[in-house]
Structure 1
Amino acid sequence: MKERFTRLFEYNIWANNLFADVIKSNTYKNDKITKLFHHIGNAQLIWLDRITHTEENVPEVWAEGSSIEAIELVKKSSQRWLDFIYSQEEYEDVIEYKNSKGDTYETRISDILTHVANHGTHHRGQLATLLRQEDITPPVSDFIFYVRA
């Protein structure tokens, strides 16, 4: 299972870096692009803290910043997930946590890992649409392209 999640989160880093490069090298008017990219990083840190309780300055889910801050946050949080996977031995443990509304849940670590990866993919799809609306070609970030690289 470790190998599968390692591969998935290495892909997550690869795909996030593709979008970071496009965001950094283009000018755009729609602030939703930066907001969504920032959200990916925020959510990654929030979910990691729910498992490890080690993150400092856990952001709000929709906290915003500049595009450079968003890129740094996404890169940092993506690497922290990969580091967590490298150090993790048990993926079927169930953890208890509170969501942003204060509701308590219990979820397997493996399901959280799957959620975090899918969450990033979902928002990168939204980013691709927003970039196209700005006449910016989004990167091709499908998993199969990562596998072929």
Structure 2
Amino acid sequence: MKERFTRLYEYNIWANNLFVDVLKSNVYKNEKITTLFHHIGNAQLIWLDRITHAEENVPGVWTEGSLPDAIKLVNRSSQRWLDFIYSQEEYEEVIKYKNSKGEAYENRISDILTHVANHGTHHRGQLATLLREEEITPPVSDFIFYVRT
């Protein structure tokens, strides 16, 4: 299981970096693009903190910042997830946490790992749509393109 999640989160870093390159090299007017990219990093840190309780300053779900701030956040949170996977031995452990509304839940670490990766993919798809609306060609970030590299 470790190998599978390692590959998935290496893909996550690869795909995020493709979007970083496009966002840094283009001018766009729609502020939702930066907000959405920032959200990917926010969510990654929030979910990691739910498992590890290691983050002192967990952002809000929709905390915003500049593009350089968003890039730093996404890079840092993506690498922290990969580091977590490298160090993790038990993926079926059930953890208890509260969501952003304060509601209590329990989920397996493996399910959270899958959710976080899918969450990033979902929002990168939204980013691709917003970039096309700005007449900017989004990167091709499908998983199969990653495994072909």
> Which residue in 1 is equivalent to 2:46?
46
Structure 1 runs not aligned, ≥5 long: none
Look up the SS of the partner of 1:137 in the other structure.
coil
Equivalent position SS for 1:65: coil
* 1:107 counterpart residue number: 107
Mapped to 2, the partners of 1:97 and 1:105 lie a distance apart of: 6
Aligned length: 149
SS of 1:105's equivalent in the other structure is strand
Hey, what's the Cα distance between the residues in 1 that align with 2:143 and 2:94?
Answer: 28
Task: Provide the rounded CA distance (Å) in 2 between the counterparts of 1:64 and 1:15.
Answer: 21
Q: Percent identity?
A: 85
Whole-Å separation in 2 of the counterparts to 1:148 and 1:85: 23
Is the counterpart of residue 147 in structure 1 residue 119 in structure 2? Answer: no
Measure how far apart 1:56 and its partner are: 2.1
- 1:55 deviates by 1.0
- Cα distance between partner residues in 2 of 1:19 and 1:55: 25
Q: TM-score, normalised by structure 1?
A: 0.99
1:64 aligned onto 2:79: no
* Residue aligned with 1:54, SS: coil
Gaps of 5+ in 2: none
Counterpart CA distance in 2 for 1:53 and 1:19 is 29
Aligned pairs for 1:105-144 (under 5 A) are 105-144=105-144
Question: 1:96 & 1:71 partners in 2: Cα distance?
Answer: 29
C-alpha distance after superposition, 1:52-88 (max 9, x if no partner): 0001210000000001110110000000000000000
CA RMSD of aligned residues (A): 0.4
One-letter code aligned to 1:122: H
Equivalence for 1:19: 19
Which whole-Å CA distance do the structure 1 matches of 2:71 and 2:56 have between them?
A: 18
Structure 1 counterpart of 2:79: 79
